[in-house]
Amino acid sequence: MAQQVADRRDVDFVLHEQLNIEQLSKYEQFVDFNKKTIDMVVSEARNLALKELLPCQKEADEQGCSFKNGTVTVPEVFHRAYAFFREGEWIAMCDDPDWGGQGMPSAVALAANNYFNGANFPFMLHNILSHGAGKLVEFFGTDKQKELFLENMYTGLWGGSMLLTESEAGSDVGALTTKAVKNNNDTYAITGNKIFISSGENNLVENIIHPVLARIEGAPDGTAGISLFLVPKIWVNDDGSFGEFNDMVCTGIEKKMGIHGNPTCSMALGGKGQCRGTLLGQENQGMSAMFVMMNEARLHVGMQGFSCASASY
């Protein structure tokens, strides 16, 4: 009988016979991850992949995402899958439990992601960038930013994206024109347009936290003058409650063969002059900071390719 998505014997061989992964349990950080626990994690990931993610892949691709008046609706079957994914705390597998993570070794998380991506990588795209955006908050955020955003992102209550590319700049990120102007408080007024934003707008989550590359008024040209900002879809007040809609509008979604279940959005920021963000990290250091998220995304794309090849085989 053909194995679906990945061969469990292969997975076990790599983890236990090739990597001897359970030896990590002798270190305090991974003391809970003995062989029994690791096998249970992989089994649960496999069950979720085969019972929930794989069965809804075809229907989601056929239904696709819909766009109307700035709102993006994802395939209905994704809502059930996302509820199970959040319940299992699969978004932040390797991260600090204090922020909603599971603290597991990366190799174990990769084994789980092998099943998840092979079963339904368009669904996984919703989670990959949410985690990457959260990692930027963890690495560069102030204590206040971490308190407001990090746990809600790592647990999947809120989503995330990466607002980098612009139509006139392309791969020349230093040519971006999105602008940030300092307000009278610790916020900045953000104006500009971004393209190719995976999960930039969707109805899976109640809020989306966008890391946005922009140039502060008067900053140097090129990448040396780019800063990074945290821009929520819905403004988050200091007490964690929701404020007003933050003037970030999806203006359309792309059509990508095989990825119809995930929206690739064009985004307009500050069209009404009411988009606000807070500086993430240091001024003019945004490009180097964003590489934390970009490199993580690249590694996940590698896992997607491997997983799809494994499932096809």
Domains annotated for the chain, with CATH where assigned, are 8-139+298-312 (1.10.540.10), 143-296 (2.40.110.20)
98 CB-contact burial (10 Å; exposed 0-12 / middle 13-18 / buried 19+): exposed
Q: What is this structure's pTM?
A: 0.94
pLDDT tens digits, 154-188: 999 999 999 999 998 877 888 999 999 999 999 99
Which position has the token pair 């993580």?
A: 296
**236 phi, psi to nearest 5 deg:** -110, 120
What DSSP line would sit under 272-289, residue for residue? TS--EEEE-SSTT-HHHH
Question: What sign does the dihedral 256-260-264-270 (CA atoms) show?
Answer: positive
Question: What sign does the dihedral 301-306-311-313 (CA atoms) show?
Answer: positive
pLDDT of res. 258? 84
- Residues in the chain with pLDDT values less than 50: 1
Cα–Cα dist 6/219, whole Å: 49
Which position has the token pair 């084994």?
A: 111
pLDDT of res. 1? 44
pLDDT of res. 169? 83
pLDDT tens digits, 96-131: 999 999 999 999 999 999 999 999 999 999 999 999
Share of the chain above pLDDT 90, in %: 94
pLDDT of res. 284? 97
Among residues 239, 166, 206, 251, which one has the least CA distance to residue 79? 206
pLDDT of res. 170? 74
